[in-house]
Chain A
Amino acid sequence: MLELQNISFQVEEENSQKEILRNVNLKIEDDQFIALTGPNGGGKSTLARVIAGIEKPVEGRILFDGVDVTDKSITERANMGISYAFQQPVRFKGVTVLDLIRLAAGEKISTAGACDYLSEVGLCARDYINREVNASLSGGELKRIEIATIIARGTKMSVFDEPEAGIDLWSFNNLIKVFEKMHERIAGASILIISHQERILNIADRIIVIADGRVTAEGKKEDILPGLLNDESDMNCRFYKEGY
């Protein structure tokens, strides 16, 4: 279980402090599939980065399976079982797709094993496995490889920051299946997905809405989703009712 207690985060902006997260309290139980949504600039991505340890909160505590991880490094949290998929995947000159998946799997998996992860995200493994994760890959290809690294890690907690963005040529259904499969595969595993996509919100056990750095709504999709869809203009947020 992941628990955020009174998390606040701020950045310096022209000699003043801008609050990005204000007193966020959240509990993500084991085996839960959570969708985190809300308007752009509301603090969702920052929250994901705080969970991964990339940003450090100015106040509050983070507990993972009862252990206080607030002061633990990115590496320590990764090794404890927290995975984080970047909204904008990083490019590397010289590091191949195979290298990255092997690093993610944390063991010397075979090329065939690494290919399986690529196939899961809809990439023809043979064409990609030895390619460098560099600027020759499109944004959509990088996003799928990023998702494949998280599948390869197979950790107890996986955080995805807008995984659907840029995946334009891939059937959206496959993306949904990837998350459902991940959820089934690892007993007790939790998935937190930042998304504006109605179809992703639809498969979530619980939806959390973050706006202006605060949790403004939280609950079962049946209770939250209708309100979100009706309040589109008030939310100042894009919701796509149609899949890709």
Chain B
Amino acid sequence: MDAIEQTLLEQIAGLHEIPTGAYNIRANGQTESRNTTANIDIISKPDGTGIDIRIKPGTKHESVHIPVILSQTGLQEVVYNDFYVGEGADVVIVAGCGIHNSGCDTSKHDGIHRFFLEKGARVRYVEKHYGEGDGNGKRIMNPKTVVELGQDAYMEMDSVQIKGVDSTIRTTEAVLADGARFVVTEKLMTHGSQDAKSEFVVDLDGKGSSANVVSRSVAREDSRQLFVSKIHGNNKCSGHSECDSIIMDDAKISAVPEITANHPDAALIHEAAIGKIAGEQITKLMTLGLTEQEAEEQIVNGFLK
């Protein structure tokens, strides 16, 4: 692995070296390295389109890293990764994609991740997307996440995309059984002429199921963002979606929250707010000795922290 690939790996997975536990590192369309454990198996799909990750019931305190890095300009790929998480397992899954494009052709990674959590399984899923490189070639990522939560299963999804991705369409779909809970925290920053769309569709099918979808985003310069959140309450359930955005320069942001109750005991809330950084916030930090620019950076960093 060269220095560029190592930098990408560090940015998306916080990895300075090969991780412990199960992992599958994919670099430029090929499996670079893989490790499985007694409880976590990683199997290539027969048609070569991706991997299946099988986590045994009752697996606790283990992690799976599946970073993808692209440093060859012009490489375009679609990868399907399926996670089967056994009953009562409790694991951390770290995925992410880093693209370094120093050429002029478009580099593109579309990752489709499907999660199937059995009864009482718990997953913390961390996903980071990052792009760099000084070429004219576009860096495009279109991650799709499909989640099926069994009875009393819990999944927490943290997704972060704060730099260097020119175009992204992020789609997350979840279906929840009785007592299941789905918590999403999305952080997004766009700049230049970047374009980002993030869409969530959550079906609260189970009795006592719940979802909380929170998105914080900053749009700078000429970038555009569209946030769509659809929560369907199909049983006695509770759902909350929140989109909070800072708009700067000439950026454009749309937030389209949608909640639908198909059951009289569905309790659903949506909140959406878009606004500039409040002048008083900058003034306060300036009275602490920061310059206007430093104050702005501090506010944006805090907001996306």
Contacts and interface: CB of A to CB of B under 8 A. Distances in A.
Interface in B280-305: 280-281, 283-292, 298-299, 301-305
Contacts of A243: none
A52 B289 contact: no
Contacts of A67: none
A52 B301 CA distance: 25
B299 to A, nearest CB: 7
Interface in B174-193: none
Q: How large is the interface on B (under 10, 10 to 19, 20 to 34, 35 or more residues)?
A: 20 to 34
Given A83-B287, A90-B280, A93-B244, A75 B292 contact: yes
Contacts of A116: none
A74 interface: yes
B278 interface: yes
A103 B303 contact: no
Contacts of B281: 90, 92
A96 B244 CA distance: 18
A86 B291 CA distance: 18
Nearest to A86: B284
B287 A92 contact: no
A79 B289 contact: yes
Contacts of B216: 93-94
Nearest to A105: B288
A104 B295 CA distance: 12
A89 B244 CA distance: 21
Contact of A90 (B278, B298, B303): B278
B298 A95 contact: yes
B298 to A, nearest CB: 7
Contact of B288 (A73, A89, A104): A104
Contact of B289 (A75, A86, A92): A75
Given A74-B283, A90-B278, A90-B280, A149 B302 contact: no
Interface of B: 216, 244, 278, 280-281, 283-292, 298-299, 301-305
Interface of A: 52, 54, 73-75, 78-79, 83-84, 86, 89-90, 92-96, 99-100, 103-104, 106, 149, 153
When A and B form their complex, which 3 residue pairs have the shortest distance between CB atoms, in order from nearest?
Answer: A94-B302, A95-B302, A74-B286
15 contacts: A73-B286, A79-B289, A83-B287, A86-B280, A90-B283, A92-B299, A94-B216, A94-B299, A94-B305, A95-B302, A99-B298, A103-B290, A106-B288, A106-B289, A153-B288
